[in-house]
A and B are shown apart, each in its own frame.
Chain A
Amino acid sequence: EPEVTQTPSHQVTQMGQEVILRCVPISNHLYFYWYRQILGQKVEFLVSFYNNEISEKSEIFDDQFSVERPDGSNFTLKIRSTKLEDSAMYFCASSGLAGGVGEQYFGPGTRLTVT
C-alpha cells in the first residue's frame, strides 16, 4: 500500500538554525500539506500546496517558513531561523483528488526539537 514517508524521524537543532524537513508524498497525489502538532495538543494546519505553489497557509506559516517541491517526488518544509516554540511533530500529508477535498494521508512525522 502506498504511503507518505518523512525524513528524518527526529531532528535536533539549535535556536536560530535552519532546518529542512523532507517528505515523499504518495506518487499520484496532487495536493500536499504540512501540519504540526505541539506535544499534547491538537494537529494544526500550516500550508497546502498545489501546482507548484502555495494554495493556502495559516497564520503560523510566517516568513520563517517556506515549502518547495524541488523535483517530482520530494516536498520540503524549511524553517529559516528556528525558535524554541517551533519544537513539535511536523506531519506531511498528501491527497489526490481534484479540488483538494479528499482523503489526506499522513506521514509518520518528524519530531523537531529546538534547543
Chain B
Amino acid sequence: GESVGLHLPTLSVQEGDNSIINCAYSNSASDYFIWYKQESGKGPQFIIDIRSNMDKRQGQRVTVLLNKTVKHLSLQIAATQPGDSAVYFCAENGGDSWGKLQFGAGTQVVVTP
C-alpha cells in the first residue's frame, strides 16, 4: 500500500533574516529539551539544549526559549544562511533518566536568497 508521511510545516526565510521555529511539547514531566537539525540523508545534528530550570539559552547564532507554563519551545536562528536549510526537530526526554528522547514532527526550513 501507499505510505503516508508527515506533511511537515514549512518555514520560508530570506537569507539574512531571523528564523523562529516553534514546538509544542506534550509531556509535563519532561525536564530536558534538545533541538536537532537534520539535512537530507543525514542523521540529526545537535544544535542546542535546555533544561527545565532555565527559560532561555543562547548559542552561536541560536537561542532556545522554553515556556513551561504552556509547554512551548522555540528556536531562534539569527541571520539565517543557506546552510541552515534543513528539517528542525525538537525533542523532549519525558522526564526519563535513561536518555530516551521523544521527537516532534519537525519543521522544514527553506532559506531563499
Any chain B CB within 8 A of the CB of A18?
Answer: no
Size range of the interface on A? 20 to 34
Which residue in A40, A45, A55 is a CB contact (below 8 Å) of B3? Answer: A40
Which residues of B are found within 8 Å of A43, using beta-carbon distances?
44, 89, 91, 101, 103
CA distance A103 to B97 in the complex (A): 13
The prevalent SS among residues of A at the interface is: loop
Which residues of A are found within 8 Å of B66, using beta-carbon distances?
none
Any chain A CB within 8 A of the CB of B99?
Answer: yes
CA distance A42 to B105 in the complex (A): 5
Which residues of B are found within 8 Å of A50, using beta-carbon distances?
98
Inter-subunit contact B98/A56 (CB<8 Å): yes
The prevalent SS among residues of B at the interface is: loop
Inter-subunit contact B103/A39 (CB<8 Å): no
Which residues of A are found within 8 Å of B32, using beta-carbon distances?
101
Q: For residues 20 through 41 of chain A, which have their beta carbon under 8 Å from a beta carbon of chain B? A: 31, 33, 35, 38-41
Inter-subunit contact B99/A44 (CB<8 Å): no
Known contacts: A41-B5, A43-B89. The answer to whether A48 contacts B105 by CB under 8 A is no
Could you give, for residues 19-63 of chain B, a 1 whenever the CB lies within 8 Å of some chain A CB and a 0 otherwise?
A: 000000000000010101000001111100100000000000000
Q: What distance in Å separates the Cβ of B25 from its nearest Cβ neighbour in chain A? A: 13
Inter-subunit contact B98/A103 (CB<8 Å): no
Which of B46, B101, B103 has the most A CB atoms < 10 Å from its CB? B101
Measuring CB to CB, which residues of chain A are less than 8 angstroms from any residue of chain B? 4, 31, 33, 35, 38-45, 48, 50, 55-56, 58, 91, 95, 99-109
25 inter-chain pairs at a CB distance below 8 angstroms, sorted by A residue, are A4-B43, A33-B101, A39-B3, A40-B4, A40-B5, A42-B105, A43-B89, A43-B91, A43-B101, A43-B103, A44-B103, A45-B100, A45-B101, A48-B98, A56-B98, A100-B98, A101-B32, A101-B97, A101-B99, A103-B49, A104-B34, A104-B46, A106-B43, A106-B46, A107-B43
